[in-house]
């Protein structure tokens, strides 16, 4: 398809402030940023399904990352609802809306703030379908931007995806590209269960081609590059560091099978384990603290199923510092990834 997204009279491609409008590409895709792709995904679902609503702080003015830009003007303030500053109230209202038959997008601003609404998510949304024998469904999407937010310190830079992957009853998604942010957000909005949707706080300006005809299913990984030396699995912003590490390794003649998990729960066991069985080595990399991170689940599953050698690489168990030199200690860069791969190869 080669058309710009439209949202009501006078609103075209919905770029964040200062960004260039989206341009069609010769292949039929749209040149969109990560945030523009999210706006377009919600727009398409709101057009297709009147039950889809948005609620949260600042959504009327487009959200703090531009991820709702133009939606209230197009659909009105009864479908794009500005709320008080209370994450518990926002999440609780979203759960109630879902149980009443709507499909709410619940905006938490950042994952760090979502902790104030954890009871409603953990004890209500995640368990309702089980506790009441399927009589109630909670088809909400809780957007919780995660990861290190540059120069934003410990309370605004957490990667908490393992918490939610540990929680029965929810789907956990973490897209790394504009295409995946478009496709996975649409898939999440069509899912009948609660989805914890973790976009990265610093990917919003990342641009790429978005093809509206490409469906991205939940639970299916993306193979970024093929190789036989070892399997490298990651997700979200960390995919950029992994890709750079793969380039460095390729220059040394080491071909890596790089897999973007995309959905943490359910994760694509078939793709990952098939790769591990072939390469016999697995390195899992994530921005989150390595201790009890979701990488441990992947590594253990691969070791049990295939007997391959495994290694994990994540952040040290420290709060993210504000000073650049301290913040850098929590980052897992390409050099560290390449070094871990070489060590695994022996």
Residuewise pLDDT in 10s, the chain (346 residues): 333 333 332 233 333 333 333 334 444 589 999 999 999 999 999 999 999 999 999 999 999 999 999 999 999 999 999 999 999 999 999 999 999 999 999 999 999 999 999 999 999 999 999 999 999 999 999 999 999 999 899 999 999 999 999 999 999 999 999 999 999 999 999 999 999 999 999 999 999 999 999 999 999 999 999 999 999 999 999 999 999 999 999 999 999 999 999 999 999 999 999 999 999 999 999 999 999 999 999 999 999 999 999 999 999 999 999 999 999 999 999 999 999 999 999 9
Q: For domain 23-210, is the CATH number 3.40.50.970?
A: yes
The Cα 158–Cα 292 span in angstroms is 14
Q: Helix H segments across the chain?
A: 34-48, 71-75, 87-99, 118-119, 128-131, 161-165, 178-190, 238-250, 269-279, 294-306, 324-327, 334-345
- What is the predicted pLDDT for the residue at 46? 98
- What is the predicted pLDDT for the residue at 36? 98
335: number of Cβ within 10 Å = 12
| CATH number of this structure's domain 222-345 | 3.40.50.920
Identify the residue whose tokens are 């290694």: 311
Domain ranges of the chain: 23-210, 222-345
- What is the predicted pLDDT for the residue at 24? 41
The Cα 67–Cα 36 span in angstroms is 7
Radius of gyration for the alpha carbons in the chain, expressed in angstroms and rounded: 20
The Cα 306–Cα 176 span in angstroms is 27
Nearest to 331 by CA among 304, 312, 308, 313: 313
345: number of Cβ within 10 Å = 13
3-state SS class at 257:
strand
- What is the predicted pLDDT for the residue at 95? 98
74: Cβ–Cβ under 8 A, 6 or more apart, which residues?
A: 7, 8, 11, 43
52-56 and 80-82: which strand pairing? parallel
The pTM of this model reads 0.91
Q: Active-site residues: which are they?
A: 156
- What is the predicted pLDDT for the residue at 28? 58
Same fold yes or no, 23-210 and 222-345: yes
């Amino acid at each position: 398809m080669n058309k710009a997204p439209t949202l009501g009279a006078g609103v075209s491609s919905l770029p964040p402030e200062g960004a260039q409008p989206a341009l069609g590409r010769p292949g039929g895709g749209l040149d969109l940023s990560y945030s523009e792709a999210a706006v377009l995904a919600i727009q398409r679902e709101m057009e297709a399904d009147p039950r889809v609503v948005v609620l949260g702080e600042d959504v009327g003015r487009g959200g703090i990352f531009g991820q709702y830009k133009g939606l209230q003007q197009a659909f009105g303030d009864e479908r794009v609802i500005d709320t008080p500053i209370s994450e518990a109230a926002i999440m609780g209202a979203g759960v109630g809306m879902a149980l009443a038959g709507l499909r709410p997008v619940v905006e938490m601003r950042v994952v760090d703030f979502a902790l104030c609404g954890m009871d409603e998510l953990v004890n209500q949304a995640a368990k309702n379908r089980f506790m009441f024998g399927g009589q109630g469904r909670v088809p909400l999407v809780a957007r919780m931007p995660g990861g290190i937010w540059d120069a934003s310190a410990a309370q605004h830079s957490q990667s908490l995806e393992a918490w939610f992957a540990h929680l029965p009853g929810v789907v956990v998604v973490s897209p790394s590209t504009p295409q995946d942010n478009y496709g996975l957000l649409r898939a999440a909005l069509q899912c009948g269960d609660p989805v914890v949707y973790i976009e990265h706080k610093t990917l919003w300006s990342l641009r790429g081609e978005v093809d509206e005809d490409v469906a991205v299913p939940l639970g299916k990984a993306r193979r970024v590059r093929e190789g036989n030396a070892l399997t490298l699995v990651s997700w979200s912003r960390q995919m950029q560091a992994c890709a750079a590490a793969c380039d460095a390794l390729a220059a040394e003649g080491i071909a890596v099978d790089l897999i973007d998990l995309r959905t943490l729960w359910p994760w694509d066991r078939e793709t990952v384990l098939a790769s591990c069985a072939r390469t016999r080595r697995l390195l899992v990399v994530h921005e989150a603290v390595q201790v009890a991170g979701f990488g441990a689940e992947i590594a253990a599953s691969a070791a049990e199923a295939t007997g391959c050698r495994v290694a994990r690489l994540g952040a040290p168990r420290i709060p993210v510092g504000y000073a650049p030199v301290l913040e850098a200690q929590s980052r897992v860069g390409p050099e560290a990834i390449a070094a871990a791969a070489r060590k695994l190869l022996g």
